[in-house]
């Protein structure tokens, strides 16, 4: 990773943390789409390795800051974020209109993984998974990923049209 990508990654981590901390009182309806947006933008602008780094740091930071209380959720969310990034990255390169197909598939894969993990893996660590956790890691995850991805595509396209960051956006 060169210095430019390292700086861009740091900025994206900082942005995601600002969203997590600043919108913590709004919880998932605001934070989910915004963090997913950062993951998608980072994938497009900086690359998948940087986006995976962002996706690994954000759930850990949420736990350390007391935003998320359940430690066993941290690796589950990390894997869900990495899955989102990897599916989006490879799908967006493979098809015509790949960004849109990738967005949909990435949101679907993340949602299905989180739903399965919360219902089948989390009970291995908790005697009873709280109902709000099951609800939060259900269909809401699909919606927040779609919204975040949609926002990311609009923002990146707008930056390209404005001629801002043309080299880094035309990867």
How high does pLDDT run on average in the chain? 90
Mean pLDDT of 55-64: 95
The confidence score (pLDDT) of residue 165 equals 59
pLDDT digits (tens, 9 = 90+) for 65-84: 888 889 999 999 999 999 99
pLDDT digits (tens, 9 = 90+) for 93-144: 888 888 999 999 999 999 999 999 999 999 999 888 888 888 889 999 999 9
Residues present in the chain in total: 171
Q: How much is the pTM?
A: 0.91
DSSP string computed for 90-117: HHHHHSTTHHHHHHHHHHHHHHHHHHHI
- For the cut 90, the answer to whether the pLDDT of residue 160 exceeds it is no
Closest CA to 55 of 100, 9, 104: 9
pLDDT digits (tens, 9 = 90+) for 2-33: 999 999 999 999 999 999 888 776 767 788 99
Mean pLDDT of 45-58: 96
* pLDDT bracket for residue 171 (50, 70, 90): very low
Which residues, including other chains, have CB under 8 Å from residue 4's CB and lie 6 or more apart?
168
């Amino acid at each position: 990773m060169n210095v430019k990508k390292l700086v861009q990654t740091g900025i994206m981590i900082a942005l995601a943390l600002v969203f997590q901390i600043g919108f913590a009182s709004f919880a998932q309806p605001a934070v989910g789409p915004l963090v997913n947006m950062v993951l998608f933008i980072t994938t497009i602008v900086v690359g998948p390795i940087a986006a995976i780094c962002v996706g690994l740091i954000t759930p850990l930071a949420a736990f350390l800051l007391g935003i998320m209380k359940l430690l066993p959720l941290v690796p589950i969310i990390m894997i869900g974020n990495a899955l989102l990034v990897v599916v989006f990255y490879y799908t967006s390169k493979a098809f015509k209109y790949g960004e849109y197909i990738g967005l949909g598939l990435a949101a679907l894969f993340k949602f299905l993984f989180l739903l399965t993990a919360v219902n089948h893996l989390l009970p291995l660590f908790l005697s009873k998974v709280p109902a709000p956790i099951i609800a939060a890691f259900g269909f809401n995850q699909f919606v927040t990923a779609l919204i975040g991805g949609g926002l990311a595509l609009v923002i990146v396209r707008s930056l390209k049209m404005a001629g801002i960051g043309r080299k880094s956006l035309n990867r």
